Amino acid sequence: MLTYFSDTSTHIGTLAFDVNTDETRAGFAGDDMPRTTFPSVVCTGVRSRESDGEEWAVLEDGDSHLSSQSLGRIAAHPLRSGHGEAIDDAVLRGLLQHGLRRLGESTWHEHPLLLSESTGSSAAARRGAAELVFEDIGAPALCVCHAAELICVSAGRPTATVLELNDDAATASIVVDGALQARSVLASPQLGGQQLASTFAHYISPLTGPLVPSCEGRGVTCADSFLAYRTSALRRELCDSLCRCTESAPKAVARGRGRGRVVVDLSLPSERPEYTLPDGRKIEVPDQHGAQACENLFASPVALAAVGGAPLQPLQSMVLSAIASLEPDTHKELLRSVIVTGSVACLPGVPERLEQELAAAARASPVATIAQQAHRLTIFIGSTHERKNGAWLGASILGSLGSHHDLWMSRSEYDEYGPPLINRKGMQYAW
């Protein structure tokens, strides 16, 4: 597993980390799947055995070291906002250290780190990550890549259009010759998994009543911040279990005001899947409600304005806008390589519906080079495993290539040039 070496040292066992909004995935470069996955949620108030200071700890099921005193502050979904804000150093350090322990390792000194960052994140955020890795945790080398770049690596496409349907936002971007084109990045939090789950919970609220998350078996009390996190997690669990998208355009429109003004397919079969809530109640949710929530991903800007309060681009428009931001001579190749990943893309029917909507929107595009090449549209969906772990798989592949030394920043380079050098590393050329 020789994964990184320089003129003066050789290191075995590069660690790949994908720190996403909902989950953090960690493992050794070269593996086919992450060895550990845990929620990207941390809390303060944990007393260190070695000192009297407070530490950040990962909040997850089965963590025996958490107690009621550890709920002094909970940072739920503190990462990957999609708008370039820097990640809190203490939060990132807590997640990295927890992942290292779960991988069965005790120190970073033998393990270079390949870290994914949010597509469109700022240069300041990357510099902050470099300072943390070299000054605090002490890794011998670091490579930071945008999530979209790593997704292209996992799909084997140096140039592609990437649509990430993550928990915090939907993000469309363009990667050319392995490097992200910053001007192409479009992010919409209103089309992320959290918003989708909230909308679905609103639709089924007459059936569920107040949601009561379970706090049993965690050794903690339901403080307000913890209860808010558990409520959000329960909404996502409901959405993942019960939501499904129609594979064709809706045939009817649900009239009404506010969130009720959403196009919905009334021809769905009248199936009513049963679901057991944490408080023991069993509910039956018609398929129509799940389809109604998913329609917000593809609805017209007018319908989306009724839901979110402002005109928004649906997913198909975001993809075409990202493509249109680049030169016309690239449109043909970008339409032939559209990669869809993320947790929302794992919902039944979403990739198939996106392909249909994107093909129709491309044919009707006012951009001539897009409309003329609409027949070449090809969407790479992949398996559920590839959609959910696309960025980590790319990090695993890239970290196992011993030939790409220029992507990495070593400790000696950090000592000589400082944190700004990290912004000249990474995917600056075709891999």
**pLDDT at residue 263, as a whole number:** 44
pLDDT for the residue numbered 51:
44
Contact 148, 181 (CB under 8 A): no
Q: What is the pLDDT of residue 249?
A: 64
Query: Taken in order 157, 161, 165, 166, is the CA torsion positive or negative?
Result: positive
Q: What residue ranges of the chain have pLDDT lower than 70?
A: 1-12, 43-87, 214-227, 249-273, 300-311, 403, 428-431
Tokens of 386: 């590839």
Global confidence as pTM:
0.84
Q: How many CB atoms lie within 10 A of CB 14?
A: 27
Report the alpha-carbon angle 318-240-26, nearest 5: 80
Amino acid at 71: L
| pLDDT score at 366 | 94
Confidence (pLDDT) at 311: 59
Pair 146, 180: CB distance under 8 Å: yes
Residue 51, burial from CB neighbour count under 10 angstroms (0-12, 13-18, 19+): exposed
Identify the pLDDT of residue 93: 85
Instruction: Give the count of alpha carbons within 13 A of 302, CB side only.
Output: 2
pLDDT per position as a tens digit, 283-328? 888 778 888 888 889 986 645 554 545 557 899 999 999 999 999 9
